[in-house]
Amino acid sequence: MRRIKAGFLAVMLVTLGFISASLPSQAAEKADFQVVLLGTGTPPPFMHRFGPATLVIAGDKYILFDAGRGVTQRLWQDKIPLGRVDYLVLTHLHSDHVVGISDLWLTGWLNSPFGRRKGAFKVRGPEGTENLMKGLEQAYAWDIKTRMADQKLPAKTVAVDAKNISAGSTFIVEGGVKVTAIEVNHGKLIKPAFGYRIEYGGRSVVISGDTKFNENLAEKAKGADLFVHAVAAAKPALLKTAKFWSVILAHHTSPEDVGRIFASAKPKMAAFTHLVTLTNGKIKPPSLKDLYDRARTTYDGPLTVGLDRMRFIVGKDGVTVVKPPTK
Ligand SMILES: [Zn+2]
Ligand SMILES: [Zn+2]
């Protein structure tokens, strides 16, 4: 049943022009710069949209932005061992972006094809990141001690190398890849929060993180090949039922405003991720088509509505969107 539904959705997206092209997976394997939307969801525990996680593969570097719910399943679904991730980079410390960390860290330590990390677990993120990782080390001290004694797993591959980074800093320069933190605005009480610009081989990708309408981000995203931005919407009737819904929306960017940001940055390809589509169960959430149509009132460039496991090949001649595999 689910398979039929997913197939229908893919057809619908192609029909609406959400997916500009598709390539066989072999082409994806050869590409030197690509982005995989591992999870395009938010806190609701849906099967079709896992928690926020975006993998950037640049040269031989695998850099994961956020580790939401189900990130390990999504990695291994694409046959990427958890230990292959060189860096985990956090946009901010909201739980939906970090609940997958322990799984990635500890399951990636195991001596199985899906694990096998070779060095320390490297985590970068805004202030609070070092603290968060210290807390996790404490929480899992029993597991670490026990597995080291019992399974003889090495200490060096469960070791944590966590660093707080500051806004504007270029904190990864390795293997031809450069990653720079961009300060974004996720709300007065939700600081710090970052987006990121990733540069490789004369091309660039910008990830918004969670943010309200933010001109600084548009400025920093100018000329990007791919710009992936979070989006949020609700039906007007829902906002009348309780103040709570407006508070959530106020921390994010509406489809029209994301359109404005895209129009100003003019990326070669723009995509929605982190789809906040609010519902109380009675009033339906906005549809993907609603999000798309609303963004179209302010932006007429290339636009894709992200799905879990969608891939973007950031080539020298433009960005190709590869639809999610069907199995
Ligand atoms: Zn979020
Ligand atoms: Zn957030």
Ligand 1 centre and the CA of 274: distance in Å? Answer: 7
Structural domain count, the chain: 1
Q: Is the pLDDT of residue 315 over 80?
A: yes
Ligand 1 centre and the CA of 271: distance in Å? Answer: 16
Q: Is the pLDDT of residue 68 over 70?
A: yes
Ligand 2 centre and the CA of 31: distance in Å? Answer: 31
Residue 8: inside a domain? no
Ligand nearest the Cα atom of residue 274: 1
Residue 111: inside a domain? yes
Residue 98 near residue 90, CB atoms below 8 Å: yes
CA dist 3 to 88, 111, 319, Å? 31, 33, 28
Residue 278: inside a domain? yes
**Token representation of residue 122:** 């490297």
Express each pLDDT in 269-305 by its tens digit: 999 999 999 999 999 999 999 999 999 999 999 999 9
Gyration radius of the chain's alpha carbons: 19
**Token representation of residue 79:** 């046959």
CATH number at residue 221: 3.60.15.10
Express each pLDDT in 3-47 by its tens digit: 444 444 544 454 444 454 445 566 666 799 999 999 999 999 999
Ligand 2 centre and the CA of 155: distance in Å? Answer: 33
Q: What single-letter DSSP state applies at residue 32?
A: S
Residue 236: inside a domain? yes
CA angle, 161 as apex, 158 and 167 as ends, to 5°? 145
Provide the residues around ligand 2 (an ion) whose CB is within 5 A: 94, 210
Beta partners for residue 197, in sequence order:
180, 206
Provide the residues around ligand 1 (an ion) whose CB is within 5 A: 96, 210
Phi, psi of 61 (to 5 degrees): -100, 135
Ligand 2 centre and the CA of 84: distance in Å? Answer: 26
**Residue at token pair 């580790």:** 67
**Residue at token pair 């030197």:** 32
Q: Is the pLDDT of residue 323 over 70?
A: yes
Residue 291 near residue 257, CB atoms below 8 Å: no
Residue 73: inside a domain? yes
Residue 3: inside a domain? no
Ligand 2 centre and the CA of 210: distance in Å? Answer: 5
Helices (H), the chain: 2-16, 25-30, 71-77, 95-98, 101-107, 129-139, 141-150, 215-220, 236-239, 243-250, 255-265, 288-295
DSSP string, 145-194: HHHHHHT---GGGT-EEEEE--TT-EEEEETTEEEEEEE--S-TTS---E
Say what the pLDDT of residue 22 is: 47
Residue 11: inside a domain? no
Which amino acid is located at 93 in the chain? L
Q: What single-letter DSSP state applies at residue 208?
A: -
Q: How confident is the model at residue 229 (pLDDT cuts 50, 70, 90)?
A: very high
**By three-state DSSP, how is residue 197 classified?**
strand
Q: How far apart are CA 65 and CA 87, in angstroms?
A: 8
Residue 101: inside a domain? yes
Ligand nearest the Cα atom of residue 186: 2
Q: What single-letter DSSP state applies at residue 74?
A: H
Q: How confident is the model at residue 326 (pLDDT cuts 50, 70, 90)?
A: confident
Say what the pLDDT of residue 25 is: 62
Q: CB under 8 Å to 215, separation ≥6 — which residues?
A: 261, 264
Nearest C-alpha neighbor of 87 from the set 58, 48, 52, 114: 58
For residues 327 and 295, which has the higher predicted lDDT (pLDDT)?
Answer: 295
Ligand 1 centre and the CA of 241: distance in Å? Answer: 22
CB atoms within 10 A of CB 119: 11
Ligand nearest the Cα atom of residue 273: 1
Ligand 2 centre and the CA of 92: distance in Å? Answer: 7
Ligand 1 centre and the CA of 262: distance in Å? Answer: 20
Tell whether the torsion through CA atoms of 100, 102, 104 and 105 is positive or negative.
positive
Ligand 2 centre and the CA of 112: distance in Å? Answer: 33
Q: How far apart are CA 180 and CA 198, in angstroms?
A: 7
Ligand 2 centre and the CA of 93: distance in Å? Answer: 7
Ligand nearest the Cα atom of residue 230: 1
Ligand nearest the Cα atom of residue 94: 2
Express each pLDDT in 35-66 by its tens digit: 999 999 999 999 999 999 999 999 999 999 99
**Domain coverage including residue 193:** 18-322
